[in-house]
Amino acid sequence: MRTMLPGLRRFITRHPYRGAIFFLLLFFLLNIIAGSIVFISALTPLQLVTVADIIIAISGILLILGLSWVRQAGFATLGRRSDLPLYLLPAGIAVLSLSEGIAAIEASAVLLFAVSSLVIGLAEETFFRGLILQTLLPVGILKTVVLSALLFGLPHLFNAIGGVWDPLFTLADTFAAFGIGVTFAALLVRTGTIWPLIILHAFVNFTALLALGSIMVPAQSLLSLAITATVGAVLMVYGLYLVRPGKPIRIEKERMDRASE
C-alpha cells in the first residue's frame, strides 16, 4: 500500500533512533496541546485525561494510516488462540491490584474508569507499540524491546507534576512501566497483534483505578512501593524471556515477507 507520508517514512527508515525520539516528542506535544484545549473546561482530572487521550489516540491512528502501517503495527489481526497463554502472567499481575479490595465508588465512576482505561490503552499502545516500536525494529529485536520500554516508562515520571502522584510512588511506577513496556513489546513481536495489548493495558489501568478510587495517588507504604518495583522486575524478566534466542518472532517474519513482495 502506498504511504501518504513518504517523507516521514523515509526519515524514520533511515534514522530509527531519531524517528523514535520524534514520535516520543510528538506524544508529549500532543499531551500539552490536548491538555491545554480541555483544561479550560470544567472537567475532573480523569475526564480531562480521557478527552486528551482521545485526541492523542486519533492522532496516532492517523499516523498509522498515513504510514501504511496497519498490518505492520499489528492492527490487521486479532492474533492466534495458541498465543493466549502468553498474556496470563501480566493479566494475573493486574488482578493483584485488587488484592486489598475495591474503593467505595459509584457506578458512574466505574463506567468512567472503564472508558478512560480503554482510551488510554488505545492511545499509548498506538504510539509506543504501534509507532515507536515499529520505528526501532531495524536496530534489532532485543534493542527494540528494551528501548521502546524505556521510552514508554519515561512519560510516567511526569505524573508527579502538580501533586497528582506521590513522588516516591512515581519512581516505583516508572520502573514498573518499564517492565510492562518490555513485556508488551515482547508480546507484540512474538504475536504480531496489538489488540490484546490494548485490552490488557486497559485492564491494568482499570484495576488500578478501582483499587484507588481516583486518578490521584497519595503516599504509599514501603511495602507497596517494593511490590510495585517487584512487579516491574518480574515483567522485565518475563518480557526478555519471551524474546530469548530461538523463539519464533512473528513480527520479524512479516517484515521479511513484506520486503520480498
CA distance 206 to 24: 24
- Residue 43: pLDDT band with limits 50, 70, 90: confident
**What share of the chain in percent tops pLDDT 70?**
92
The angle subtended at Cα 197 by Cα 25 and Cα 149, nearest 5°, is 40
Model pTM score? 0.92
Higher-scoring residue by pLDDT: 36, 86: 86
| CA 200 to centroid of chain Cα atoms | 10
Of residues 254 and 3, more confidence is placed in 3
Q: What is the DSSP string of 45-114?
A: HHHHHHHHHHHHHHHHHHHHHHTT-TTTTT-S----GGGGGGGHHHHHHHHGGGTT------HHHHHHHH
Q: Give the whole-angstrom CA distance, residue 197 versus residue 249.
A: 16
List C-alpha distances in Å: 204 to 88, 115, 143, 176: 12, 13, 25, 12
Phi, psi of 99, deg, nearest 5: -65, -25
Domain residue spans of the chain: 6-260
Q: How confident is the model at residue 1 (pLDDT cuts 50, 70, 90)?
A: low
